[in-house]
Structure 1
């Protein structure tokens, strides 16, 4: 079952049909980027080892070249120190390039995966609104990709910590033990705060997503809000969710800043304690002046990897919270289950005992090639019927069956149902781009575009502008009037040439003359030529112009079929029909 406003699925570049959770998504990020991440991690570890070697080298130069006044050794040592700086600079630049490239590509890949799932033609069973889905596919995808940067940094910082501890052990065992014992103790204590940061980060992202969803709803419904004078109420609603998001963000930032400040302070105190202990040992003659310089340099350098190790749990908490939100989308069950039938013998449409919302057991049959009108005295009946025919409902959401050519929709292959039945909703959106890009999304030839524009009375929209079909259209078609947008959307639907087409109130924004032209155009394009075959069309409408063009009219009243006949017959004999249609 298809809709002209549906987007095609996006190829994520990797088949992945398994279940997800936050941890599994993070593992998958690391596994599928293992090549560049391994190279990048080795290089940044080399950088950290070279950084560790700098104070060691300076200490050696002092002891073996400066104290001995050996000029040759001094020159050689300085050249070696220069080579060391060259190695650490090159290793960092190359390693960071591999890691950042993997992280950015993974962020892009995750965005595609989420978009692929959101745009799945089977639908997505989720409670997240459009704005929240947008946040998941953008900021949450980016935050999840941070794991590709967190792990190499953690490995590199650990490498620097271990190398520093070994160097200090070589100089003096108590100094080395202070690092080996102090580091895991500090990290273990700080790690106890990670769940709190994860919880607050997740709450922050959820509140931001709600604010984005509210903003999306307000922008999309701005014109109706202005029409009913509800701008202030809508603005107050957005201010409330925005304030909640701000409060959540400040709360998370406060917790993170306290955590970062505490971790930095503790790391610095450990480094100062090591340097102080080394000074005491130097005064006692246990270590040389060069070794003292090495210890002080290592203590100062050690603050960076230890501080990084202490801060990484905060970044991991954000990545884990975002990956959990990604899992909500990637794990969402499809609304529609695809069947196995791939071919049909006919295009007649049958509804048997349909119960959904206000529909209370609707039975109707539309013969192949028939132009059928359906009048719903209560608008909610028409909306419910369009929803059932759209094929976007799960089988457990309604009772009864819908079949085309004797085959139930639930038994059809997804591709078959999408190319067989199209339901054009009452409110249709246009995509940002041009008129041509909207109309030719399915690759329709120019001759068909001309016919569809004529049938939908949309040719004047093209002719009225010098750019013609290249006229720029803003998002949701906001640059066009309501009537123009409705006619262009109708033309787009007619271009699909689906065997069964359902149009729900396609002319509510046009005048009576244009409506009569559209009625004649639909009948001509869909049923006026033998080449159309057995095209079946259903018009859910109360427009007398459209109903006059139909072969037969079915009337729904209080959820059931109340009467059947031609438009003229019902207009002459049914007072309720006259009151609803011939206003």
Structure 2
């Protein structure tokens, strides 16, 4: 998305917006003409007692309401379909961005991303309806002003001056509300992220007594979210109050002016009814304009958060630091990468993401109801394929495919989940497989079995990159690359790097356990 994400949404659905605006304008025009029709009925039917005129007026009002309701229904249907379609598209794009490039989550917490994907995408899509109803509200006020100009120039001019002042005044309040709403949504997302992290780590927190501190941190995040919500509610109240006050002022001023004109004999009974009805009608478009301005501020704030999630993050590689493309693993090679700092390991792992590459992170997520569901990887590329039993054996993973998964696999130990994730990656049999710390939760004996299994299954049939500090994995690599925090690097086998006079000490420190 560009720097103006709401405009991007409107461009993608310009036809729906145009149809929605047109139908809504017809709806508002008919609503504006209802007082005119009633005024004419009073003048030409009620006042004269002509039965034929009464019947014609009743039929005319019924026809007007038929067009009014049909146009309104069609406008709502068109806009709602576009909103649901856009919200789904944004959710899909945001989810794909997270799944395609793990670096998107680099500076974000899971709860905050979940807030963007669910709440902010919906608010962004709602801008389609808001623009349509804002345009129709303004058009309805213009129609009302034209009708009043034909009845009395002073009344029409008064509305033509007062209505733009009200709209511009409300618009001037919108940036303040937008900032408050953005802060509210951001802080709410962070509070949700803290809660999600607390629940995910509840078991180890209880183990080392960290629950009180975790609860204290959530209280702080929740308090920040509450203050932001109160601030946004206050800004909303100011905007709603200003709109209501402006609406009341316009209604009172219009009714008072019409009454004065009737007293002077400048308006007849039918025109008075039209003016009073028009003044009452104006409350609806003015409220709509006020509400749309308010909600557009919410949509713009949400759209910026969605756009930030969809914008690819800038790589964090420093000048001179080798990137994934510069490591150039050979076809069929098992390449080990040892990074002396986490930022370098993150950058290298993210750099390998691309077509034909499977990157398996250290944290394993198991989806589905059974172990078989968790191991399903979808279609295997043509000419490739690893038998599931061989993948499970190589990863030393559980083999009961009917075993149930409870809450993402929490009924399995951390080591079992890690081995299941490794088996899933091996079974996918991608041309390039990148494994990030695949054995951190395993004991030395099991880790040695897994290292031998990965080597046996992948050597010569696909490129395998192991971003790890495990000596048991590194000894089975064809080549190992050491990347230091200051941008230096060295290449060799595990043994050669240990004996390297320049890098041996750094390498030994990085792989020591």
Report the TM range for the smaller structure's normalisation.
0.7 to 0.9
Give the one of 247, 253, 257 matched to 1:267.
Answer: 247
- Answering whether residue 279 of structure 2 is matched by residue 299 of structure 1, we say yes
Judging changes above 3 Å, is the alpha-carbon distance between structure 1 residues 437 and 165 closer, same or farther for their aligned structure 2 residues?
Answer: same
5+ long unaligned stretches in structure 1: 1-18, 338-353, 357-363, 394-408, 567-576
Secondary structure of residue in 1 paired with 2:91: helix
Does the CA contact (< 8 Å) of 1:435 and 1:473 recur in 2? no
1:485 matched to 2:417? The reply is yes
Q: Answer whether contact 1:125 1:333 (CA < 8 A) is retained.
A: no
Shift of 1:312: 2.4
Matches within 5 A, 1:517-536: 517-519=449-451, 521-526=453-458, 532-533=460-461
Shift of 1:214: 2.0
Which residue of the partner structure matches residue 159 of structure 2? Answer: 179
2:221 corresponding residue in structure 1: 241
2:397 to 458, 471, 492: 458
Change (3 A) 1:191 1:284: same
Partners of 1:179 and 1:539 in 2: how far apart?
70
> Is the deviation greater in 47-56 or in 316-325?
316-325
Query: Given that residues 20 and 327 in structure 1 are in contact (C-alpha distance below 8 angstroms), is that contact kept between their aligned partners in structure 2?
Result: yes
**Alignment partner of 1:435 is 2:371:** yes
Contact 2:43/2:269 (CA < 8 Å) preserved in 1?
Answer: yes
The answer for the alignment partner of 1:474 in structure 2 is 407
After TM superposition, the score normalised by the length of structure 2 is 0.82
Matched, 1:39 2:22: no
Deviation at 1:493, TM superposition (A): 2.5
Alignment gaps of 5+ in structure 2: 497-506
Q: 204-213 or 444-453, which moves further after superposition?
A: 444-453
1:111 lines up with 2:113 in the alignment: no
Q: Contact between 1:371 and 1:551, CA under 8 Å: does it hold in 2?
A: yes
* Residue 195 (structure 1) aligned with residue 134 (structure 2): no
Separation of aligned partners in 2, 1:286 and 1:388: 79
Q: Does 1:20 align with 2:2?
A: yes
Q: Provide the rounded CA distance (Å) in 2 between the counterparts of 1:179 and 1:388.
A: 61
Deviation at 1:241, TM superposition (A): 1.0
Name the structure where helix makes up a greater proportion of residues: 2
**Equivalent residue for 2:270?**
290
In the alignment, the residues of structure 2 paired with residue 125 and residue 523 of structure 1 have an alpha-carbon distance, to the nearest angstrom, of: 30
Length, aligned pairs only: 495
Alignment CA distance shift 1:128-1:174 (3 Å): same
Q: 1:317 to 1:384 in 2, by over 3 A?
A: closer
Q: Partner of 1:65 in structure 2?
A: 45
Please say if 1:213 is aligned against 2:193.
yes
The structural deviation recorded for 1:488 is: 0.6
Task: Give secondary structure in 2 for the equivalent of 1:192.
Answer: helix
Change over 3 Å in CA distance of 1:144–1:384 after alignment to 2: closer
For the residue of structure 2 that corresponds to 1:249, the secondary structure is: helix
Q: Report deviation, 1:536.
A: 6.0
Question: 1:273-352 to 2 correspondence within 5 Å?
Answer: 273-335=253-315
| Contact map agreement 2:469 2:511 (CA 8 A) in 1 | no
For normalisation by structure 1, the TM-score amounts to 0.73
Displacement of 1:556: 8.6
Matches of 1:366 and 1:56 in 2, distance apart? 79
Q: 1:502 touches 1:540 (CA, 8 Å); kept in 2?
A: no
For 2:340 and 2:444, the matched residues in 1 are separated by: 24
The answer to whether the Cα contact below 8 Å between 1:556 and 1:563 also exists between their aligned partners in 2 is no
Q: Does the 8 Å contact 2:386/2:429 carry over to 1?
A: no
Alpha-carbon separation, structure 1, partners of 2:265 and 2:511: 106
8 Å contact 1:131–1:209 — kept in the other structure? yes
Offset from partner CA, 1:143-171 (integer Å, 9 cap, x none): 22222111111111112111111111222
- Residue deviations 1:195-225 (CA, integer Å, cap 9, x gap): 2112212222221222233223323333332
Q: Deviation digits for residues 237-287 of structure 1, max 9, x if unmatched? A: 111111111111111111211221221122112112211221222222211
Corresponding residue of 1:129: 109
- Paired residue for 2:501? none
The structural deviation recorded for 1:192 is 2.4
Retained in 1: the 8 A contact 2:262–2:272?
yes
Would you say the 8 A contact 2:344–2:483 is kept in 1?
A: no
Is the 2:388–2:427 Cα contact (8 Å) retained in structure 1? yes
**Residue 523 of structure 1, CA deviation:** 4.8
The structure with the greater share of residues assigned to strand is 1
